Every structure is written in structure tokens, then in C-alpha cells.
């Protein structure tokens, strides 16, 4: 299964994905298995979302990525469903916030925003407008500041 999910992620993001700054927060980290999901069709993975434990200036936060949906399955709501499932599982597991680096117009629909992330520092160059966070409890996105590190 892991091989098939990796193949899906490789297909969606291409070989350049390992150069992404977000990848630095996944290397040497461990997947939050209870907050990560794979969508299957015909015995094959067609979508996935993964969450990882990180800290922002020492505060624990769940880091989302990659989110990948097979090109043949897009625009049917699967991406949003996967994001919502991961956030609900993270809330149930006691996480106060989820952060990611992604397109605000897409992730705003799931409640992500850059309004509280001005002080959040990724471990490499990123467009700060793409650093997004969603509170899972009231105030869970407040006061987040400092370097994002592997927990
Ligand atoms: C982004 C992605 C996960 C969306 O999957 P999906 O299952 O098609 O998502 P949904 O069905 O929930 O939403 C689709 C809608 O979002 C829109 N959308 C997709 N990517 C978008 C983006 N980057 N910015 C704004 N809107 C976007 C689509 O145009 C579509 O609009 P429509 O409903 O009017 O047709 C998928 O396109 C994908 O795997 N892309 C490549 C990898 C990627 O960019 N991942 C996210 C960054 S980690």
C-alpha cells in the first residue's frame, strides 16, 4: 500500500517534490497515521492526505501535506473531503491547529487562512502568503510564531 500511495504522490507532484521546503518537515519525521487518509477506487489509491507532527516556536501543530488527488478523480470534492477528514481526526486526537503551505484560494474553503501566520517561519524560502493555518479549537491559531521544526 505504501508503495502505491508513494507512486500516486510521485505522479501528482513529479520528481521535484523532494526539493520543496515542506519536505524538510517530513524527512526524519513520523506520519500521524490516525490523521492521514487514503481514498481508494478499484483497489488503487486515488487520493491521499498526510499529517505530521511539528512545532512552531515550540508549540505543537499538525503539518498537512502532501494532499494529492489523481487527475482522473478531480473536481468531485475528494480533495476537500480528505482535508476535512484529516482536520477532524486531528481535532479528535487533541491537536489545536493544522498548518500547511499551499494555495489560499483552495484551502480557504476548508477554513485555512494566512491571517495568523505572519510570524511563522518555514525552514527555507516560501511565499509567506502560502503559509496557512486552521484552528481546531477556539484560539488554536493565535500566538503562533517562530521556526517550524520537526517535533
Ligand atoms: C489540489 C487538489 C488536491 C484538489 O483535488 P480535488 O479533489 O480536485 O479537489 P476538490 O474537488 O475538493 O475541489 C476542486 C476545485 O478546486 C479548484 N482548485 C484546485 N486546485 C486549486 C488551486 N490550487 N487553487 C484554487 N482552486 C483550486 C478546482 O478548480 C476545482 O474547482 P471546481 O469545483 O470549480 O471545479 C488536486 O488538484 C491535486 O492533487 N493537485 C496537485 C497537487 C496539489 O496541488 N496539492 C495541494 C497542495 S499540497
Looking only at the bridges linking them, the beta strands covering 37-41 and 59-69 are: unpaired
Q: Which three cell numbers stand for residue 48?
A: 491521499
Task: Give the residue whose CA is nearest to atom 36 of ligand 1.
Answer: 69
Return the DSSP state at 113.
B
Task: Give the residue whose CA is nearest to atom 19 of ligand 1.
Answer: 106
Mean pLDDT of the chain: 96
Q: What is the pLDDT of residue 41?
A: 97
- Between the CA of 22 and the centroid of ligand 1 the distance, in Å, is 18
117-130 mean pLDDT:
97
pLDDT in tens, 9-54: 999 998 888 889 999 999 999 999 999 999 999 999 999 999 999 9
Which residues does residue 63 pair with via DSSP β-bridges, in sequence order? 52, 99
Q: What is the pLDDT of residue 18?
A: 82
Q: Is any ligand 1 atom within 6 A of the Cβ of residue 74?
A: yes
8 Å CB contact between 120 and 32: no
CB atoms within 10 A of CB 108: 13
Q: Among 106, 114, 126, 130, say which to mutate for ligand 1: greatest number of ligand atoms within 8 Å of CB.
A: 106
| Alpha helix segments (H runs only) across the chain | 2-13, 78-92, 104-107
Q: What is the pLDDT of residue 19?
A: 83
Q: Which three cell numbers stand for residue 50?
A: 498526510
* Residue 150: CA count within 13 A, CB half-sphere: 11
54-66 mean pLDDT:
98
pLDDT in tens, 64-119: 999 999 999 999 999 999 999 999 999 999 999 999 999 999 999 999 999 999 99
Q: What is the pLDDT of residue 151?
A: 85
Question: Considering the entire predicted model, what is its pTM?
Answer: 0.97
**Please, what are the domains in the chain?**
2-150 (3.40.630.30)
Amino acid at each position: 500500500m505504501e508503495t502505491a500511495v508513494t507512486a500516486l504522490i510521485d505522479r501528482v507532484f513529479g520528481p521535484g517534490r523532494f526539493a520543496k521546503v515542506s519536505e524538510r518537515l517530513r524527512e526524519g519525521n513520523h506520519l500521524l497515521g490516525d490523521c492521514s487518509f487514503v481514498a481508494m477506487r478499484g483497489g488503487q489509491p486515488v487520493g491521499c492526505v498526510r499529517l505530521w507532527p511539528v512545532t512552531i516556536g515550540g508549540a505543537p501543530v499538525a503539518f498537512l501535506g502532501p494532499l494529492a488527488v489523481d487527475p482522473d478523480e478531480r473536481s468531485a470534492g475528494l480533495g476537500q473531503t480528505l482535508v476535512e477528514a484529516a482536520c477532524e481526526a486531528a481535532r479528535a486526537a487533541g491537536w489545536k491547529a493544522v498548518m500547511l503551505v499551499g494555495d489560499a484560494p483552495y484551502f480557504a474553503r476548508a477554513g485555512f487562512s494566512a491571517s495568523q501566520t505572519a510570524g511563522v517561519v518555514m525552514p527555507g524560502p516560501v511565499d509567506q502568503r502560502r503559509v496557512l493555518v486552521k484552528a481546531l479549537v477556539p484560539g488554536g491559531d493565535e500566538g503562533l510564531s517562530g521556526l517550524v521544526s520537526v517535533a
